[in-house]
Structure 1
Amino acid sequence: MTVDAAASVRCLIVIPCLNEARYLEPLVRQLEPTLSDLNATLVIVDGGSTDGTREIARRLAATVPKMRVLDNPKRIQSAAINLAVDMFGVEHDYLIRIDAHGTYPQDYCRVLVEDALETGADSVVVAMQTVGFGTFQKATAVAQNSVLGNGGAKHRAGAQSHWADHGHHALMRIAAFRAVGGYDETFTANEDAEYDYRLQQAGYRIWMTARTSMIYYPRASALPLFKQYFGYGRGRARNFLKHRSRPSLRQLLPLMVAPVAAGAFLAALTWIAAVPFVLWAVACMGYGAWMALGQRNPYGPLAAVSAMIMHFAWSAGFWREVLDIRQRRVPA
């Protein structure tokens, strides 16, 4: 792949954000050289931040060439991406989605474009590694990087470059994005997996590259982590309901956690009701102990707690959505 080939396409780099004042300016400064390298436009789409993010974005836009700022009254990420594509997509070939709450290699965008051109893929996805700083965040990162927390998902664990059905969204061909209708804005979470399903149903292809990846910073305390995974569970349920698809084995196991936890309350009537819950808890804590002893990772036991929060929240969110009578009519 020559430099000229990668630079000959037009890229729309979009950062949807909400209250990311701490992260936005360093991220923009990191991406600034890419704007000229790849003939790219950078768009910050703010969902109504109250921490000064919008002011930072507008200040940067005054000094960074080819940078734009949009307000996103719908607040959610799916709407932010759609808005940017509606406003600027016709002028560009590829969309690159950047999460404000992450860190990227210097050549991240270039590698994505090179792989798209070499493979002819309509979407290029990447693996995502989590990194923490405080004690709970470090433990959650350990959990999310382990089979206990990610179930062996390749976009979490990483893999050799291959054609895939899903991954962490990075680059999308704008023509394909528009052809399938972009993101479904009824999804506040899991919009990426839902989009990937429709993309493949329409005959487009997804390439997972091993040449680059991104670093994500997980939630730093238990309640935000629970809320995040509760939303993920609801989003996954909406996906299954909309497309009448079925969970994979990797998803079926954590899916049973909330019913098992609820069933444990019947232990007042018979101790047998608590057995499934106890087995799940022992399995998680045992895996955490193995990480502590076998891998010499001091965060293993607390990582098991983080994983249990993620399992329960995801399962609870899933069943909350499935059992909601209003979801009996799901838009096609």
Structure 2
Amino acid sequence: SYAVNKDKHPDQTYVSSVEVLAGAKRRLARNFWGHFGATAEVLPKGLAPDFRIYAGLNYFFGFGPESNINSSASTLEVFPREINLAQQEKQTVTVTGGAKPYSYELSKNMGRFDQDILEYTAGNQMGNDELIVSDADGATASVPITIRDKSSMGVTPSDSTVYTGGVVQYSVSGGRAPYRASLSPANFGSISNLRYIAPTRDGVVEIIIRDQLGQTARARVHVVPIPKAAREIELKNLNFDFDTDRLTKASEIELDRNIAAISDVKINKMIVVGHTDSKGSDIYNQNLSQKRAETVAKILRNRFNLRTDQVEAVGYGEAQPIATNETELGRLKNRRCELKMYYDN
């Protein structure tokens, strides 16, 4: 309501009105605040609007940390409390407490600090730096920074030859895990957990491994066809537990019978070729067939006392069916292992 001038409007004492206020305040010092603004009171028709502007200075008394009505008087802190980075690595910081606005300074300028996103980027020089944060009251907080060497990456093996459907397991030294691997060309085999499975065709592929620091290590694989064997046999009646590379108990007995039939032959090398039916994706089936072939290869190494490189396992997945995959009987025939044997000259 608004009191009306009785001389001009003798018939009215109060009228309805709407008052609009807009203003701002700014902290000038720890307990001092300045404020300013304007008001406009809109009156009914026939009465002129009433405008006012105002400004003022407030002082707030505080008698302890809990009594200060301004929460910005809390301790200025920066997180993390220390930063340890490799060259060119980044770290985001968080600032709490104190009085805004904050200002930022690097003691040795060994890196860059982006004030918009509060992110520190280490430079190329190794050593120690310090991020110093100041608030509007002059309080400061600092974070020690250590910049270490960006360790170089290495991959083993760097150059290898494998049969079609074979496997190369890589190990990485240096860099920062976890690592990501890709292929060039991209569709020439598959790689997961640093384990490369070659396709069923020959060629050359490059393995590209990247770490979390952006470093890259490369390896080359030559995929070659399986040579013609002196003798090839099908390891009959071998079954695996569903969707695994574990032989059933009955199949372990059958494998022993297969081995007994060739135990009198002096063997220099063996290649176990695993096959699956067409259920599942191509990559999944090839991986499964290789693992099943490796299960058989381990048993053969023990039986014949041969080295790992003398009994190799490759997986062809569903690429070489010997029967239709439209029937259960056909799929059963396609889930098989073949043994290629190479004798001493």
Higher helix share: 1
**Quick one: higher RCO (CA 8 Å, sep 6+), 1 or 2?**
1
- Superposed pair shares fold, TM > 0.5: no
TM category (shorter chain) comes to under 0.3
TM normalised by structure 1 equals: 0.21
Which structure's CA Rg is the greater one? 2
